[in-house]
Amino acid sequence: MSASGRIVVGMSGGVDSSVAALLLRDAGHEVIGLFMQNWADDGSGECRAEEDRRDAVAVCGRLGIPIRFRDFSKEYWDGVFQHFLAEYAAGRTPNPDVLCNREIKFKHFLDAARELGAEAIATGHYARVQRQGDTFLLLRALDRSKDQSYFLHQLGQAQLAATRFPLGGLHKQAVRALATEHGLPTARKKDSTGICFIGERDFRRFLAQYLPAQEGELRTPDGFRIGTHPGVFYFTLGQREGLAIGGVRGRPQAPWFVVAKDVARNILYVDQGHDSPWLQSRMLRSEEAHWIAGNPPATRFSCTAQTRYRQPDEPCEVEVRDDGSLSVRFERPQRAVTPGQSVVLYDGEICLGGAVIATTDAPVPDPKP
């Protein structure tokens, strides 16, 4: 088979990339697997990279396709992890999966595939690419419960033109069934969750290696001190776990949630109630937006948006500002819209693009001495 039909599949060692390679092989393509090492072993014993590497090799052996290896750990550190730390140090909550897709999987991986003479790359992401004239559209996956277009919204035309998502039209149950039918060793492997470089270890303990704990005050929005915390950057808006708040005199026995962070003063504000008014916002401002088609559909338009993964579509009005940032106003209040996360915009099944959230109009506690 000529190199013009060659596709390099990013083999993660999971069932999704395994079936993506299977489908492309059976469709007649010349398939090469490529395993990416994105995180250097830190000696903690928590990294699953070696296990994943073995599984990727086993799958490629089963499918009868070659496998190559690339170490992108330096690129990951420079392009993803340093930004991750800087955002947490600033009191924001970044999304490393979005950056990893833009900087590693659809940049350095794509370059490596081209060095191998491939016409395209493929991954096990649940999303679809559709060509409409000269424009490539990013569409949601058929299985909406697994759709990953939220994490892919930073991709552009050149990347989508060279990318295949073989699982975009399948449900997860069908993917597992195909893996079982073809005897793939990853058929029953548990899906990975959380941030890849943290693995199964405690998030706060991991982050403390890079951002040392700095104890500060826990306060209610009206300024009442109810305890201490190990550092505001260990927490995110809407978080309930890890606050270690016992009974508070004069307060009901109800869960507490993080509602605001004063990074400069190292104060963490908490309130009771999942839907505390301190967590509600109707409007957000973003950093400069990325548009998958290259340009926004208009300077003002209506669409739906997600401010976190797997959130139901929320109707909104979008204004593209002169500096390329967005002003997004929702039809109804949104809970815990978090600076550092992404707002991703949709027109039905089509992902238009998105941007990093900068600020919201959620109420801010008045700092008191």
Q: Does 303 participate in catalysis according to the annotation?
A: no
Residue 271: strand pairing partners: 257
Smallest CA-to-CA distance from 141 within 120, 124, 116 is with 124
Do 279 and 336 contact (CB within 8 A), yes or no?
yes
Task: Compute the distance between CA of residue 17 and CA of residue 265 in angstroms, rounded to an integer.
Answer: 45
Other beta carbons less than 10 A from residue 104's beta carbon: 21
Smallest CA-to-CA distance from 271 within 318, 336, 321, 322 is with 336
Task: Compute the distance between CA of residue 168 and CA of residue 146 in angstroms, rounded to an integer.
Answer: 9
Catalytic residue (one of 60, 196, 303, 351) = 196
Catalytic residue (one of 60, 100, 316, 351) = 100
Q: Does 100 participate in catalysis according to the annotation?
A: yes
What are residue 356's phi and psi, to 5 degrees?
-75, 135
Reading the block at residue 121, the tokens are 């790359």
Return the SS3 of 180.
helix
Task: Compute the distance between CA of residue 310 and CA of residue 304 in angstroms, rounded to an integer.
Answer: 13
Task: Compute the distance between CA of residue 234 and CA of residue 204 in angstroms, rounded to an integer.
Answer: 6
Q: Are strands 342-347 and 300-306 parallel, antiparallel or unpaired?
A: antiparallel
Smallest CA-to-CA distance from 20 within 54, 63, 53 is with 63
Task: Compute the distance between CA of residue 118 and CA of residue 7 in angstroms, rounded to an integer.
Answer: 5
Task: Compute the distance between CA of residue 362 and CA of residue 260 in angstroms, rounded to an integer.
Answer: 9
> What secondary structure letter does DSSP report for 39?
S
Q: Which residues neighbour 84 within 8 Å (Cβ) at sequence distance 6 or greater?
A: 94, 96, 99
- How many residues in total does the chain contain? 369
Query: Would you please indicate which residues are annotated as catalytic (active-site) residues?
Result: 100, 196
